[in-house]
């Protein structure tokens, strides 16, 4: 039966205002301007007629609000913008109607047929049933991409709306922006606001929704962890507070904690730090203690804000596509489609042969032992491909720099007119000559090069010291021959992101472990505990104490290896901070305009943290898989990591040569 005809009416904006306010403003937090309300009334009146108050009209307003927020048009709904959104919603509705009308059930097809041949189930095609292999629907190569730091979409955190704002970029915009004073002012406050918003979602730091009788009488119930602003401590001497802020040194050289409201000096003489973390200046910390009348905060316990799982963060911010993989236009943003994400996860399991190879750091091409090790590795990969098939080759081989043992700078010799840059290019030409003997690798593997501190052009002024982050990629002019030899050769920044189907992989080359150990805060209570452990048993006057010590030595104790402790300590500190460089700018320079690249919010699926100053490790924390390949060449063996995305497992391989 056909739907009854709808008689159009002339709807006034004043009549539509209550319904529009309830749906758009009260439910979705949008502010409607008068011209937008008039445009909605002009469309709803003829479209829905006398049923403009009905469920279908309200459903239409819901679609308008969702489409408006999907396109990230802001909180103010104007007439020009709502006209575009109305057209978009109408087009979506027509598309759904056409798809619904085009679907004919299999039963109707069988009933209309005149033959009596029994159907073969293998030949029946139903439009609603997907093919057996998802690889027939999606090409995995479309969702495998290395994203340079200076090509990644820019999202600025808005602490007022507690969301991320997309910053459109011009197609011909200059990538390496100069430092902006405004960005420098908001650098550390934005880091603090992001962590504060993360803690607000943590149940441990949420205030109770009701007050029980036992809490009123002061028995049985522990108070919730409520974070106080530093400015609220004024005049409240002798009370206990939980503070969160940035650890810095004040003008007197003493430790202080600073938040968005004020700063306060810390007394850490009796502070007990949480185990398994580094405490360095520039970190955002939680400090519990008592405020004294001298204006000093006496810390009793101090620790890091806990990290948050990737899925929770993505759901909170609306599944934003931070890497721009699903964007249709570079000037617009999109969201990760959940059904598509599930299909990509299933496709990952089908592609069980896919692996990624991460080489260790310090791949010095000017070292003959490195070239010998790479030749042995390429020969091994080629032999496996000949025996088991080309699908056994890794889809990507990541080379971690620096690619020379000495920093590159333009110096000229008295005998020749060639600079060190010509020598640098010759090293990559030698690598290209080596790869020419392994055509299977050059044709089927993507070669990714992540620069280090000695690579151009940052090494020209840093002379091998920590360069400004993010570090730009190596200029392609140094690898022209290598680009001709390899089918896919990617020169990327440090750090950079890799998107593989539903997984986000962060590539980072930094000796961050050594930096933490050099700048870690030494708490007096920790030093005293170490001294007590080192004191000889003979100094104890109590016989019972000696007996207890001997009993403790006789009992089997489960000890964790020192390398594992160090790895867990490093991973937990970085992920809890949610930043790849949680240091002040004088310890590690950061380009203010691109600090968002260093943020680990949400946490990536995999973090490849190539740190030659720390032992190699494979640690998973809060669902984030962190890998450290270590040093490429150690004695007579080459070290690398094979990562399998289908199982999300990694294996450390050593090749002796």
Over residues 366-418, the pLDDT tens digits come to 999 999 999 999 999 999 999 888 889 999 999 999 999 988 876 644 444 33
CATH of domain 13-100: 1.10.8
* pLDDT at residue 220, rounded to an integer: 38
What pLDDT does 279 receive? 97
Query: Could you tell me if 5 and 18 are in contact, meaning their C-beta atoms sit under 8 angstroms apart?
Result: no
Residue 216 has which token pair? 């009123």
291, 239 contact by CB (below 8 A): yes
Q: How far is 656 from 108, CA to CA, in rounded Å? A: 67
Q: Could you name the CATH architecture of 320-410+418-510+607-613+620-656?
A: 4-Layer Sandwich (3.60)
User: pLDDT value at position 576?
Assistant: 98
DSSP 32-60: EPHHHHHHHHHHHHHHHGGGTTSHHHHHH
Q: What pLDDT is recorded for position 533?
A: 55
Taking 70 as the pLDDT cut, the residues of the chain under it are 1-5, 95-137, 170-179, 207-224, 328-332, 410-419, 464, 528-558
Contacts of 217 (CB under 8 A, 6+ apart): none
Express each pLDDT in 120-155 by its tens digit.
333 333 333 344 455 555 789 999 999 999 999 999
Q: Which helix (H) or strand (E) holds 346?
A: helix 338-350
Cα 655 to Cα 657: distance, rounded to the nearest angstrom: 7
CA separation for the pair 475, 449 (Å, rounded): 11
Query: Contact 23/36 with Cβ under 8 angstroms?
Result: no
* Beta-bridge mates of residue 197: none
The tokens describing 21, both together, are 């306010």
Note the pLDDT of residue 583.
96
Per the structure block, which two tokens stand in for 389? 């098939």
Is 9 in contact with 15 (CB distance < 8 Å)? no
For 172, which DSSP code?
T
DSSP state at residue 477: G
pLDDT value of position 368: 95
Assigned token pair, 396: 């990507």
- Cβ distance 633 to 601 under 8 Å? no
Domain boundaries, the chain: 13-100, 320-410+418-510+607-613+620-656
Which residue matches tokens 């056994």?
Answer: 392
pLDDT of residue 315: 92
Which neighbouring-strand residues pair with 655? 638
Cis peptide, bond prior to residue 562, ω within 30 of zero = no
Q: Kindly report whether the peptide bond that precedes residue 402 is cis, defined as omega within 30 degrees of 0.
A: yes
Preceding omega of 63 cis (within 30 degrees of 0): no
Q: What is the pTM assigned to this prediction? A: 0.76
Phi and psi angles of residue 426, each rounded to the nearest 5 degrees, phi first: -65, -30
| pLDDT tens per residue, range 168-181 | 875 544 444 555 78
Burial of 123 (0-12, 13-18, 19+ CB in 10 A): exposed
Predicted confidence at residue 84, as pLDDT, reads 84
C-beta of residue 377 within 8 angstroms of C-beta of residue 434: no
CB neighbours (10 Å) of residue 519?
16
């Amino acid at each position: 039966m056909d739907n009854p005809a709808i008689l159009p009416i002339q709807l006034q904006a004043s009549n539509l205002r209550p319904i529009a306010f309830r749906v758009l403003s009260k439910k979705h937090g949008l502010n409607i301007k008068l011209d937008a309300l008039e445009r909605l009334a002009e469309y709803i009146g003829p479209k829905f007629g006398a049923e403009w108050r009905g469920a279908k009209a309200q459903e239409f307003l819901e679609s308008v609000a969702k489409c408006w927020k999907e396109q990230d048009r802001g909180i103010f709904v104007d007439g020009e913008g709502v006209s575009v959104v109305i057209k978009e919603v109408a087009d979506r509705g027509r598309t759904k109607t056409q798809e619904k009308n085009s679907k004919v059930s299999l039963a109707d097809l069988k009933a209309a047929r005149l033959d009596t041949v029994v159907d073969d189930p293998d030949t029946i095609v139903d439009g609603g049933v997907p093919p057996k292999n998802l690889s027939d629907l999606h090409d995995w190569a479309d969702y495998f991409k290395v994203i340079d730091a200076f090509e990644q979409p820019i999202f600025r955190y808005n602490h007022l709306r507690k969301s991320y704002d997309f910053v459109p970029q011009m197609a011909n915009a200059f990538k390496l922006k100069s430092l902006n004073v405004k960005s420098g002012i908001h650098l550390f406050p934005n880091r603090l606001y992001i962590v504060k918003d993360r803690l607000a979602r943590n149940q441990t730091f949420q205030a109770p929704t009701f007050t029980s009788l036992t809490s009123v009488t002061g028995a049985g119930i522990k108070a919730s962890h409520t974070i106080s602003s530093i400015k609220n401590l004024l005049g409240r001497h002798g009370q206990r507070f939980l503070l969160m802020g940035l650890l810095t040194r004040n003008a007197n050289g003493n430790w202080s904690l600073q938040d968005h409201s004020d700063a306060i000096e810390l007394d850490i003489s009796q502070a007990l730090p949480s185990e398994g973390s580094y405490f360095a200046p520039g970190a955002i910390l939680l400090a519990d203690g008592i405020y004294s009348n001298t204006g000093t905060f006496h810390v009793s316990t101090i620790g890091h804000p806990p990290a948050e799982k990737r899925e929770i963060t993505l759901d909170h911010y609306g599944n934003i596509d931070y890497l721009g993989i699903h964007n249709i236009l570079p000037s617009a943003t999109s969201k990760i489609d959940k059904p598509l994400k599930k299909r990509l996860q299933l496709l990952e399991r089908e592609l069980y042969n896919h692996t990624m190879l991460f080489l260790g750091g310090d791949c010095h091409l000017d070292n003959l032992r490195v070239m010998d090790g790479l030749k042995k590795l390429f020969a091994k990969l080629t032999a496996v491909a000949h025996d088991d098939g080309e699908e056994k080759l890794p889809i990507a081989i990541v080379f971690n720099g620096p690619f020379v043992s000495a920093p590159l700078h333009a110096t000229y010799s008295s005998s020749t007119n060639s600079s060190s840059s010509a020598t640098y290019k010759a090293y990559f030409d030698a690598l290209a000559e080596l790869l020419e003997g392994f055509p299977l690798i050059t044709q089927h593997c993507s070669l990714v090069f992540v620069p280090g501190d000695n690579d151009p052009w940052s090494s020209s002024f840093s002379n091998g010291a920590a360069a400004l982050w993010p570090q730009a990629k190596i200029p392609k002019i140094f690898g022209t021959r290598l680009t001709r030899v390899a089918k896919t050769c990617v020169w990327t920044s440090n750090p950079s992101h890799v998107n593989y189907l539903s997984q986000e992989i962060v590539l980072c080359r930094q000796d961050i472990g050594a930096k933490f150990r050099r700048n870690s805060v030494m708490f007096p209570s920790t030093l005293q505990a170490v001294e007590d452990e080192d004191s000889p048993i003979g100094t104890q006057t109590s016989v019972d104490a000696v007996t207890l010590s001997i009993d403790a030595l006789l009992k089997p104790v489960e000890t964790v290896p020192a390398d594992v402790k160090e790895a867990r300590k490093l991973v937990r500190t970085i992920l809890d901070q949610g930043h790849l460089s949680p240091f002040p700018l004088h310890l590690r320079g950061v380009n203010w305009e691109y600090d968002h690249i260093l943020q680990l919010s949400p946490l990536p699926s995999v973090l490849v943290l190539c740190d030659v100053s720390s032992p190699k490790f494979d640690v998973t924390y809060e669902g984030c898989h962190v890998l450290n390949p270590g040093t490429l060449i150690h004695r007579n063996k080459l070290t690398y990591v094979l990562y399998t995305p289908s199982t999300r497992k990694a294996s450390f391989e050593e090749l002796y040569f």
